[in-house]
Amino acid sequence: MALAVVYSRAALGIHAPPVIVEVHLANGLPGLSVVGLPEAAVREAKDRVRGALLNSGFEFPARRITVNLAPADLPKEGGRFDLAIALGILAASGQLPAALEGYEFAGELALTGALRPVTGVLPLALRARAAARSVVVPAANAGEAALAEGLTVLGAGHLLEVCAHLAGQRPLAPHPPPATANRAPAAEDLSEVRGQARAKRALTVAAAGAHSLLLIGPPGTGKSMLAARLAGILPPMSDEEALESAAVASLSVQGFTPAAWRRRPFRAPHHTASGVALVGGGSHPRPGEVSLAHHGVLFLDELPEFDRRVLEVLREPLESGRITISRAARQADFPARFQLIAAMNPCPCGRLGDPGGRCRCTD
């Protein structure tokens, strides 16, 4: 068979739109071309795939190979399509059974054939579950994908393991869902704070009513310490909230750690952060601090030091609970329903109203 079809998904906001990887082998000068609006990392996949196939003991077809990533108007970025392209070439050349319609694949290939983790696996897993397909991902991403209950997740460390499974030689064992408690332990506990009765009362009221909170006091009075403990007294996350929060974290540069499952996020950007850092952006839209704090706490320490234009960008997500990032070729939508807590000194020197010191400000 000179044509193979493999299923994968792109990363676009918290949505993972389907991508059909079509591989066609034709007569002509040997070569490999990738079409379908691929960006630099995807175009470079042809060299990674060639090296991975040869170093894994497979034959690279000496034919004209065309890889089409459909739909053509959807930008594709990253190395997440490497595995799907490699399997498509093997299936089209008859080195692998062509029955791949029940799976979705994602993973970057090393030149040795090893599978490297990619970002955005949890959104992919949630959409694959809705499409009633199993997913094959790098072993390092399997725990994250298994958070989507009811989905068959197959984790592999090497291209050869995936091929052996598809050929029926050594089936991959489905990755078990992670053992998660109803509520993850909070990183910071309010019971550790001694005194500060009025501040603790304000924190409790804010947590009960989902109110924003501003803490004002001299340096060293525990404003940051108290703010870090707000997430620990918020109600437990529901399954839907936990999945939404984890899906956003999965798209970030740091990725999602299954150990943080059901733990409400706490984000504390520095006061020099830009507007893009807060709301997200970039040529490949990534979530900002407001989205990474989804269903958690966003803490702005030294509030007056933030640029006014940076604070203005918080208006929309505070009102709507979402943020939309528009670029020339794409539009990404991220959730951003967070609880805002800020802290500041009462004056530039910080000593106004401090019984132990005197204000030294000239104004």
Rounded mean pLDDT of the chain?
91
pLDDT digits (tens, 9 = 90+) for 267-319: 999 999 999 999 998 878 889 999 999 999 999 999 999 999 999 999 999 99
Among 287, 295, 240, 296, smallest CA distance to 268 is for 296
64-70 vs 31-35, strand pairing mode: parallel
Domains observed in the chain: 3-166 (3.30.230.10), 190-344 (3.40.50.300)
Identify the DSSP state of 304: G
Q: What average pLDDT does the segment 104-120 reach?
A: 97
Give me the count of residues in the chain. Answer: 363
pLDDT digits (tens, 9 = 90+) for 191-243: 888 888 999 999 999 999 999 999 998 888 889 999 999 998 999 899 899 99
Closest CA to 330 of 3, 39, 111, 122: 39
Confidence of residue 185 (pLDDT cuts 50, 70, 90): low
**Alpha-carbon span 249 to 291, nearest angstrom:** 8
Nearest-angstrom CA–CA distance, 122 and 162: 20
Q: What is the pLDDT at residue 293? A: 96
* pLDDT of res. 258: 80
> Structure tokens of 300?
């702005």
Question: Which tens digits make up the pLDDT trace of 38-72?
Answer: 888 899 999 999 999 999 999 999 999 999 999 99
Nearest to 155 by CA among 129, 176, 126: 176
